[in-house]
Amino acid sequence: MISVGVVGATGLVGTTMISVLQERSFPVDRFHAFASGESRGKTVRFRNQNYPVEIITPETLCKGIILFGATSAEVAEKWIPQCIESGAAIIDNSSAFRMNPEVLLAVPEVNGHLITGTENLIANPNCSTIQLVVALNPLAAMRNILWVSAATYQSVSGAGYPALDELSRQQDGMEIEPGIPHLHENIITGIGPPDTNGYCDEELKLMHETCKIMNLDFPVFASTARVPVRTGHTEAVVVKFSSPLLAEEAASILMNAPGITVSQCGCSPVDVENTDTVVVDRIRNYPDDPTILQFWVLADNLRKGAALNAVQIAEVWGRALKVSI
C-alpha cells in the first residue's frame, strides 16, 4: 500500500485524478488532499471518506509519498523542489519541468519502458500532446516521419473550472465583462501568450513535447484553438512519411496499438467524453501522394489528456519497483 497525495485536489484535473485513482483501484494506504489557502476548510471525498484539504509544506509530507501534481507551472516550481527534498516521488501535470532534459516526459504507451522506478519526478505532458503521440507512435515504428501538421480544437475544460463556469454563464446569455474571453459560439485562435515568432504557448508545447516523448526529430506544424466544447480535444493531423503508407495499413497498425480505438464514421468530442481511449478517426491518404496520411485524433482531455495518463505513469513506476499496483 502506498501513501498518495493530490496537489491541486480541488481543481478540475485534481478532482479527475481522484476519480481515476478510485476507478483503477490504485493501492492507497494513506490519502492526502493538498490545495491552496483558498480551499482551506474544504474537504475532499476519497473512497467514502472525507479528507480535509491541507496546505502542502515539507512538514505535511510523509517520506515515500507519491504526489500527483495538478497545479499551474508557477505554483509547481515552488512546491516540487521542496517536496523532492522531503523524499516524495512526483508526477507533475504542469509544464514547469517538461522540457528539462533531466526529467522524463512520459506517455506509457509510447515511452513507458523508460520508467525505471528510481525517478523522483516524472512530467505529465500537455493534453493535446498526449493524444497526438499515442496516435503517431505506432505509425512511426513502421515508417519514418518527415513532418507532422496538427490543428487542435481544444475544449474549454482545458482551462479549468472558472472557464467552464464562464462558458455556462455566456450560454445563459449573461453579459460578458471586459477582458473575459468570448467563449460561447466562438473560436479563439490561440491558447496562451505568443513567442517572438508568433507561436502561442500551447503550440510550442505541442511542437517540442512531441519530439521529446517520441525521441525523434521532425517538425511539428502546430495550430491550436479553443472552441466552445465542454470536454474533449479534437485534432486534425497530417503526417508526411518517407515512403508510402496506405490508409488501410495505417488503420490495421493503429487497431493493434495500445490505448487506441479506430473509427471511420466521424467521431466527435461527445463520443470520447468520460472515456479512456484515444480515437483515431477518418484515416485517409492525400489522393496524389500516398506518403501523406490524414486523420482526426480525439480524446477526453481531463482523463487520458491529464489524470489517467498520470495514474498510468504511477502504475508503470510501481511495477518497475515491483510494487503491487
Task: Match 487497431 to its residue by C-alpha cell.
Answer: 255
Cβ-Cβ contacts under 8 Å for 114 (sequence gap 6 or more): 104, 106
Give the DSSP letter string of 270-320: HHHTT--PEEEEEEEEETTEEEEEEEEEEE-TTIIIIIHHHHHHHHHHHHH
Q: Cα dist. 25→20, 69, 129, 157, 233 in Å?
A: 8, 19, 26, 25, 26
Q: How many Cβ atoms sit within 10 Å of the Cβ of residue 47?
A: 11
How far is residue 202's CA from residue 223's CA, in Å, rounded to a whole number?
9
Catalytic pick among 32, 83, 200, 233? 233
Tell me whether residue 208 is one of the annotated catalytic residues.
Answer: no
Catalytic pick among 32, 83, 127, 267? 127
Tell me whether residue 233 is one of the annotated catalytic residues.
Answer: yes
Separation of first and last alpha carbons in the chain: 9
Task: Match 519502458 to its residue by C-alpha cell.
Answer: 113
Residues 199 and 191 sit within 8 Å (Cβ to Cβ): no
Cell digits of residue 7: 496537489
Q: Spell out the alpha helix ranges (H) of 141-297.
A: 161-171, 201-214, 247-255, 269-272
Q: Which residues are catalytic?
A: 127, 233
